[in-house]
């Protein structure tokens, strides 16, 4: 693979509709949809219902204009702030929040949420509940010490990073810097939830390859520890998809509590 062909998610434009269709839609191959959507939703549902994670305020820093991971946990939260690296992702999220007819349809994931909760209906109420908790999306830039400059956000109880750190970190030093910036958004005693790829190098959007930082479990565990986190839950999900849309070895789901300021 010629590294000159690699683009960067937070720098280069992409078709967000293609991203959503390929990875998170009813058109997505079953195994890939399991890993990108169903497993993540199940992990988060369990994290909040089991008491692994507690808190009322959350900041989400994730790839693409996705909301499916917030559906299973919105009832536990009072306020959700979504940070996005791209203006076009913000616009797509605003369409969904405002119920625009041309917004991406997340009904298939709303019904999954109801199934997780043992219900066969109520998906519309679930979506409306999430809309009521979400504040207007905010543009962020992690090359700045304050990623939301000039806006200063209050610290929150929890941050979710769904592939966010993986795709904006050009190297391991940048990953550590970005993690430090994320940590500055979390209260002492609060939680960081990560869903990412182990030993990946790219993912595709259409015909283009986008960078993913390559790291292993040892790096992730040590980096979190060095930044003042205690890992409460660490789980790998072995790859089952045969799709060439991404080249990860396995997935990782982490719940880490911020126990010290570094």
- Over the stretch 175-208, which tens digit does the pLDDT of each residue have? 999 999 999 999 999 999 999 999 999 999 999 9
Strands 208-211 and 202-205: antiparallel
The whole-number pLDDT of residue 258 equals 98
Distance CA 133, CA 123 (A): 16
The whole-number pLDDT of residue 51 equals 87
Distance CA 138, CA 155 (A): 15
Under DSSP, the state recorded for 35 is I
CB 25 within 8 A of CB 64: no
Mean pLDDT of the chain: 95
Q: What is the CATH number of the domain that holds 67?
A: 3.40.50.150
Q: Which two tokens stand for residue 175?
A: 């990953």
Q: What is the mean pLDDT of residues 244-248?
A: 96
Distance CA 178, CA 135 (A): 23
The whole-number pLDDT of residue 214 equals 98
Domain region containing 54: 3-258
> Residues near 190 by Cβ (< 8 Å), separated by ≥ 6?
55, 155, 156, 157, 158, 159, 257, 258
CB 43 within 8 A of CB 253: yes
Summary count for the chain: helices (H), strands (E): 9, 10
Question: Given CA atoms 68, 78, 83, 15 in this order, what sign does their dihedral have?
Answer: positive
**Residue 13's pLDDT band (cuts 50, 70, 90):** confident
Q: Of 177, 212, 166, 215, which Cα lies nearest the Cα of 7?
A: 212
> Is 50 exceeded by the pLDDT of residue 1?
no
The whole-number pLDDT of residue 262 equals 85
> Is 60 exceeded by the pLDDT of residue 173?
yes
> Is 90 exceeded by the pLDDT of residue 210?
yes
Number of domains in the chain: 1
Strands 186-198 and 250-258: antiparallel
Tell me the pLDDT tens digit for each residue of 100-147. 999 999 999 999 999 998 876 788 999 999 999 999 999 999 999 999
Q: Which two tokens stand for residue 242?
A: 């045969």
Q: Hey, which residues does 221 pair with through a beta bridge? A: none
> Is 50 exceeded by the pLDDT of residue 2?
no
């Amino acid at each position: 693979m010629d590294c000159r062909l690699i683009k960067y998610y937070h720098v280069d434009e992409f078709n967000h509709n293609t991203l959503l269709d390929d990875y998170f839609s009813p058109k997505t191959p079953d195994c890939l949809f399991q890993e990108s959507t169903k497993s993540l939703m199940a992990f988060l549902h369990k994290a909040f219902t089991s008491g692994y994670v507690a808190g009322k305020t959350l900041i989400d820093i994730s790839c693409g204009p996705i909301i499916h991971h917030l559906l299973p946990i919105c009832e536990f939260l009072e306020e959700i702030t979504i940070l996005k690296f791209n203006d076009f992702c913000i616009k797509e999220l605003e369409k969904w929040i405002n119920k625009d007819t041309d917004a991406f349809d997340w009904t298939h994931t709303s019904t999954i949420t109801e199934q997780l909760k043992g219900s066969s209906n109520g998906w519309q109420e679930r979506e409306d509940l999430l809309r009521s908790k979400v504040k207007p999306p905010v543009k962020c830039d992690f090359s700045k010490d304050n990623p939301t400059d000039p806006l200063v956000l209050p610290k929150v109880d929890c941050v979710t990073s769904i592939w966010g750190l993986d795709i904006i970190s050009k190297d391991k030093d940048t990953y550590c810097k970005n993690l430090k910036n994320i940590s500055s958004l979390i209260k002492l005693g609060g939680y960081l939830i990560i869903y990412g790829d182990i030993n990946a190098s790219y993912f595709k959007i259409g015909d283009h390859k986008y960078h993913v930082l390559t790291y292993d479990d040892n790096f992730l565990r040590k980096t979190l520890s060095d930044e003042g986190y205690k890992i409460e839950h660490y789980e790998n999900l072995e790859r089952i998809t045969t799709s060439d849309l991404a080249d990860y070895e396995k997935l990782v789901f982490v719940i880490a509590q911020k126990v010290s300021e570094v």
